[in-house]
Structure 1
């Protein structure tokens, strides 16, 4: 058995891993109520087996798309829909 963390998306596509994680989370966010919390950085790290920086990039991507907002010290939440 290997102690290596497996990154399920690595080498499947030329797109960055954080973008693919953000796309999966965006599908989940679309079904979630406004102001509900999304997965934390640690949740993302464990679920996808990625580094903290990758998890942060995924959340930043969701913020850039306007799907979530972040409150310092509290987490990220589903943004109101236009």
Structure 2
């Protein structure tokens, strides 16, 4: 499902809003809106921007985390790509 990165959420459409948001965020990442290792907008910002409930935004982010498109750091935010490898001391 190719989504326009500038699409709006269709609350009356057949696709659930969290899936729509996940597709929009995935398209924005692909377009280069946020660089690898850099944060995406906060949950609060996404709630305001897309007019969704916080739980809906969290569910969309969880989809992207499961796909490996983003990763989260509690209290810091959600970042594009894979988490950095832990450095091992020898």
> What interval of TM-score do these two structures reach, taking the shorter chain for normalisation?
0.7 to 0.9
Alignment correspondent of 1:45: 47
- Kindly provide the CA deviation profile for residues 11-64 of structure 1, in whole angstroms up to 9, marking residues without a partner as x: 12x211001011011111121321010121111100110111001011111111
Secondary structure, aligned partner of 1:70: strand
- Kindly provide the CA deviation profile for residues 58-79 of structure 1, in whole angstroms up to 9, marking residues without a partner as x: 1111111110000111000001
Contact 2:68/2:81, CA 8 A, preserved across alignment: yes
State the distance in 2 between where 1:45 and 1:33 align.
21
State the distance in 1 between where 2:35 and 2:66 align.
19
Which has the larger Rg?
2
Q: What is the total number of aligned residue pairs between the two structures?
A: 73
Q: CA RMSD in A?
A: 1.5
What's the TM-score once normalised by structure 1's chain length? 0.81
Off by >4 Å, runs of 4+ in structure 1: none
Structure 1 gap ranges (5+): 1-6
